[in-house]
């Protein structure tokens, strides 16, 4: 492995660290000012009566509204798996959810989103 290859790898690592910090900053901005409520085994995070996120204790999943998830993917040029991996650490650092699985709020969860 040559110097150029090592530099390329180091730049990729630096880029991921920077992206993670930027997503963490964006996430904190989104969650700041949220009203937290309990709904059975769920912890709901709402802002202006809109459900943005919720944590489901029974399966240790943290669901993000589709619009928020895709905004992160597009803004940071990430695919689903890359964003999910970064959010695992961010959710542990910010909300202390251990080994949580971040998920996008898909159509199967539509009833939850409609209730709000």
Q: What is the pLDDT of residue 113?
A: 53
Domains of the chain, by residue range, sit at 3-114
Which parts of 1-116 are beta strand (E)?
35-39, 42-47, 50-56, 61-64, 101-104
pTM for the full model? 0.79
Q: How would you write the pLDDT of the chain (116 residues) with one tens digit per residue?
A: 776 775 665 556 556 668 999 999 999 999 999 999 998 889 999 999 889 999 999 999 999 999 999 999 999 999 999 999 999 999 999 999 999 999 998 644 555 655 54
- DSSP-assigned letter for residue 48: T
Distance of CA 64 to the CA centre of its chain: 6
Q: What is the pLDDT of residue 39?
A: 86
Q: What is the pLDDT of residue 103?
A: 94
The burial class, CB within 10 Å (0-12 / 13-18 / 19+), for 17 is: exposed
């Amino acid at each position: 492995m040559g110097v150029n290859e090592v530099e390329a790898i180091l730049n990729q690592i630096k880029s991921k660290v920077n992206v993670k910090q930027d997503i963490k900053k964006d996430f904190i901005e989104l969650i700041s000012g949220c009203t937290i409520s309990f709904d059975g085994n769920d912890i709901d995070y709402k802002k202006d009566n809109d459900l943005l996120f919720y944590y489901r204790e029974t399966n240790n999943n943290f669901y993000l509204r589709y619009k928020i998830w895709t905004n992160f993917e597009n803004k940071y040029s990430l695919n689903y798996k890359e964003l999910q991996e970064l959010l695992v650490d961010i959710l542990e650092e910010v909300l202390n959810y251990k080994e949580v699985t971040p998920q996008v709020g898909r159509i199967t969860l539509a009833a939850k989103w409609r209730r709000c």
